[in-house]
Amino acid sequence: MNATKIAGIVLIVIGLAGFFTGGFSFTKDSTAAKIGPIELTVKEKQSINIPQWLSLGAVALGAIFLVAGFKKS
């Protein structure tokens, strides 16, 4: 397999994952206050939404790369 085919497959998988999950979330720890030996930490849950048009664009670009990889061979 050449690099074009691999890039196409990776883009298709990432695009499908983004399309079906819609995004991802993570927890961020941050220090709110530190007074001497006492430290106050805050856990914030943040989420990132992936637009559907971006996911579909990644799938389409991956398909183009995949077809181009087969035409090179």
Domain count across the chain: 1
Q: Quick check: pTM over 0.85? A: no
Angle at 5 between CA 16 and CA 48, to 5 degrees: 30
pLDDT value for 9: 93
Please tell me the predicted confidence (pLDDT) of residue 73: 60
Q: Are residues 62 and 15 in contact, defined by beta-carbon separation less than 8 angstroms?
A: yes
Q: Write out pLDDT tens, residues 17-40.
A: 988 988 888 898 888 888 888 888
Give residue 43's identity as a one-letter amino acid code: K
Bigger pLDDT: 69 vs 66: 66
- pLDDT higher at 33 or 61: 61
> Which structural domain range is residue 67 located in?
3-72
The average confidence (pLDDT) of the chain is 88
